[in-house]
């Protein structure tokens, strides 16, 4: 079976994107998880350009990695000096990694207009830099920058650059679509040409996503014989991002039948994808292929019922293979079959308890008429099902009372919000706390967590990711009702809850309580 090497550049290429910055701890955590997932190479950063990357290379030596080799990234030496005298190359060696990757120019336009040196001199720069590193480091990867653009404009020169790197001792030449505008057929022809020019060389592919073709271009290059694919987790990188390794891993394993991480690691994919979003402080892309929340979501009616009979009808793969789950969206809960399907998704058997099913249908009708929706509030819905089955929903605390104060003391001053809360925890213990926030709901949320955290330390793992308020018109046009949807999460999962009231604080409170109860319920369910 064909094996494909995975080279992750999330920590380097991704760090260049405008809204991402990882701490040293984040980087070490990501590296450990990528190792556990089965990624072959992790590019840790650019030691010559960023002192914080040097810290990473020191610290990463303390990790016990089983699979992953760490690579340091840099560029070919400056023109006009010897490789031995180049500070950038020296910093690469100081990183003491088993792999060094250097990027070099292969497009004549760049050599002339950016480096401003004769074309022949750039070949010397490549040869000298690669040879210098090859005699000191186990593996040297040459990133052929702008190879695909260069090959279109001046194929002989682009190929001469690739040959220079290969002949100087590069263990692998990685062909880069640095501007991200290439098309699959062009990539295929250019890869063929490179392999024709230096047949004994091993090639990799590094694509950017500016024409939304990074994954397609990478697949084409692998199809033509490249042995390594470079990319980032979730595809996020500078501009429009890099080739998405998450999609590539799933596609290579499940569709091409090639091995990259191995089937046994594939189910970790969704979890690693989420962790990277968390640490990057970015909202996960719901519609992300394979691992997104909506990737296997089916909305009521025909699709949901077909998918219940045979998932293959509307699912291109079994979501469990990549660590994802099927979701049935309940938009019309009064439909009995929708409800049963939704319950089954939570592992709840409603079919054998017709009385509970009736109770649930009645309660749902009532709640929906008040303005509740459960389509985007799975966690609230699970609590509701528990209530129908067990007579009461899981509860872990009792509210004695809360007070929220919003104060603005001057026109030019921002308002201050403060919440106090008193609640009864396990064994009748009373907790009374106060917290400030940038708004009343934020203050209430902080006070609730602070109070609950005393009894249940796992509450500190919960984070609020999204908060949406919608004003629902009432038929009489008098008493408007607001609906609040909250998305919370911990490292493993995200969940959504809903609240409805005439009062926005009360609606938020309901959604917050559902969120905390759900977290506590889920922790206990997992513990058996």
- Residues 233 and 276: beta-carbon distance below 8 Å: yes
Buried b (16+ CB within 10 A) or exposed e, 44-63: bbbbbeeeebbebbeebeee
Residue closer to Zn ion, measured from CB, 229 or 419 = 229
Residue closer to Zn ion, measured from CB, 83 or 175 = 175
The 3-state DSSP composition of the chain as helix, strand, coil percent (nearest 5) reads: 45, 20, 35
Residue closer to Zn ion, measured from CB, 15 or 484 = 15
CB under 5 A: which stretch of 11-19, 158-166, 344-352, 425-433 binds Zn ion? 11-19
Residue closer to Zn ion, measured from CB, 180 or 489 = 180
Residue ranges in 388-417 that form contacts with Zn ion under rule CB under 5 A: none
Q: Which residues contact 457 (CB under 8 A, 6 or more apart)?
A: none
Q: What are phi and psi of 418, to 5 degrees?
A: -140, 140
CB under 5 A: which stretch of 12-20, 51-59, 100-108, 217-225 binds Zn ion? 12-20
Residue closer to Zn ion, measured from CB, 241 or 319 = 241
What does each C-alpha distance from 153 to 147, 193, 195, 314, 360 come to in angstroms?
10, 14, 18, 44, 67
CB under 5 A: which stretch of 5-13, 91-99, 274-282, 339-347 binds Zn ion? 5-13
CB under 5 A: which stretch of 8-16, 270-278, 351-359, 437-445 binds Zn ion? 8-16
Residue among 38, 45, 36 at smallest CA distance from 15 = 45
Query: Could you give the angle at the alpha carbon of 170 between the alpha carbons of 167 and 172, nearest 5°?
Result: 120
Residue closer to Zn ion, measured from CB, 216 or 444 = 216
Compute the least distance from the CB of residue 228 to Zn ion, in Å: 14
What does each C-alpha distance from 375 to 79, 143, 283, 354 come to in angstroms?
61, 47, 19, 23
Residue closer to Zn ion, measured from CB, 46 or 277 = 46
By CB under 5 A, tell whether 43 contacts Zn ion.
no
- Residues 294 and 287: beta-carbon distance below 8 Å: yes
By CB under 5 A, tell whether 278 contacts Zn ion.
no
Compute the least distance from the CB of residue 66 to Zn ion, in Å: 27
Q: How far apart are CA 487 and CA 508, in angstroms?
A: 12
Q: How far apart are CA 418 and CA 422, in angstroms?
A: 14
DSSP run (H or E) holding 493: none
CB under 5 A: which stretch of 7-15, 376-384, 394-402, 493-501 binds Zn ion? 7-15
By CB under 5 A, tell whether 13 contacts Zn ion.
yes
**DSSP for residue 320:** G
Residue ranges in 80-119 that form contacts with Zn ion under rule CB under 5 A: none
By CB under 5 A, tell whether 149 contacts Zn ion.
no
Q: CB 147: neighbour CB atoms within 10 A?
A: 31
Compute the least distance from the CB of residue 209 to Zn ion, in Å: 10
Compute the least distance from the CB of residue 208 to Zn ion, in Å: 6
Residue closer to Zn ion, measured from CB, 18 or 413 = 18
DSSP run (H or E) holding 456: none
CB under 5 A: which stretch of 9-17, 123-131, 371-379, 441-449 binds Zn ion? 9-17
Residue ranges in 447-476 that form contacts with Zn ion under rule CB under 5 A: none
CA 118, 122, 124, 128: dihedral to nearest 10 degrees?
150
Compute the least distance from the CB of residue 487 to Zn ion, in Å: 32
Compute the least distance from the CB of residue 210 to Zn ion, in Å: 11
Q: How far apart are CA 297 and CA 328, in angstroms?
A: 6
Residue ranges in 296-325 that form contacts with Zn ion under rule CB under 5 A: none
Residue closer to Zn ion, measured from CB, 13 or 517 = 13
Residue closer to Zn ion, measured from CB, 241 or 300 = 241
Query: For binding to Zn ion (CB under 5 A), which residues are involved?
Result: 13
């Amino acid at each position: 079976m064909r094996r494909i090497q995975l080279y992750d550049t999330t920590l380097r290429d991704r760090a260049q994107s405008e809204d991402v910055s990882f701490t040293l701890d984040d980087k070490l955590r990501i590296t450990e998880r990528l190792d556990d997932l089965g990624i072959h190479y992790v590019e840790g950063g650019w030691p010559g350009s960023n002192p914080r990357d040097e810290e990473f290379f020191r610290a990463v030596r303390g990790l016990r990695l089983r699979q992953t080799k760490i690579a340091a990234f840099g560029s070919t030496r400056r023109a006009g000096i010897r490789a031995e005298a180049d500070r950038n190359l020296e910093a690469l060696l100081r990183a003491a990694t088993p792999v060094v990757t250097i990027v070099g120019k292969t497009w004549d336009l760049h050599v002339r207009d950016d480096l401003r040196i004769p074309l022949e001199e750039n070949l010397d720069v490549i040869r000298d830099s690669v040879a210098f590193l090859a005699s000191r480091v186990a593996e040297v990867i040459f990133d052929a920058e702008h190879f695909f653009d260069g090959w279109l404009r001046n194929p002989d020169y682009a190929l001469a650059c690739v040959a220079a790197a290969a002949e100087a001792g590069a263990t692998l030449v990685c062909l880069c679509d640095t501007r991200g505008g290439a098309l699959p057929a062009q990539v295929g022809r250019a890869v063929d040409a490179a392999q024709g020019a230096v047949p004994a060389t091993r090639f990799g592919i590094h694509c950017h996503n500016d024409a939304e073709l990074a994954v397609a271009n990478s697949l084409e290059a692998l199809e033509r014989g490249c042995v390594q694919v470079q990319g980032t987790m979730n595809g996020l990188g500078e501009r429009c991002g890099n080739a998405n390794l998450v999609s590539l891993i799933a596609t290579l394993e499940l569709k091409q039948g090639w091995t990259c991480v191995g089937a046994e690691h594939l189910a970790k994919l969704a979890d690693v994808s989420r962790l990277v979003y968390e640490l990057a402080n970015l909202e996960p892309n719901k519609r992300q292929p394979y691992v997104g929340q909506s990737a296997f979501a089916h909305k009521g009616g025909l699709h949901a019922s077909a998918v219940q009979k045979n998932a293959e009808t509307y699912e291109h793969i079994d979501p469990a293979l990549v660590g994802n789950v099927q979701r049935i969206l309940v938009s019309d809960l009064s439909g009995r079959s929708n409800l049963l399907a939704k319950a089954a998704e939570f592992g709840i058997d409603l079919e054998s308890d017709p009385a509970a099913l009736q109770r649930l249908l009645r309660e749902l009708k009532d709640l929906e008429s008040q303005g509740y929706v459960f389509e985007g509030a799975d966690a609230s819905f699970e609590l509701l099902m528990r209530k129908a089955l067990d007579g009461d929903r899981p509860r872990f605390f009792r509210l004695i009372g809360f007070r929220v104060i919003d104060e603005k003391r001057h026109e030019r001053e921002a308002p201050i919000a403060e919440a106090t809360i008193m609640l009864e925890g396990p064994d009748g213990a009373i907790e009374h706390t106060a917290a400030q926030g940038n708004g009343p709901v934020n203050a209430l949320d902080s006070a609730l967590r602070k109070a609950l955290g005393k009894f249940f330390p796992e509450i500190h793992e919960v984070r609020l990711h999204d908060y949406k308020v919608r004003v629902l018109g009432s038929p009489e046009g008098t008493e408007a009702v607001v609906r609040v949807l909250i998305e919370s999460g911990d490292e493993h999962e995200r969940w959504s809850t809903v609240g409805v009231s005439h009062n926005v604080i009360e609606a938020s409170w309901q959604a917050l309580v559902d969120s905390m109860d759900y977290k506590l319920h889920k922790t206990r369910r997992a513990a058996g």
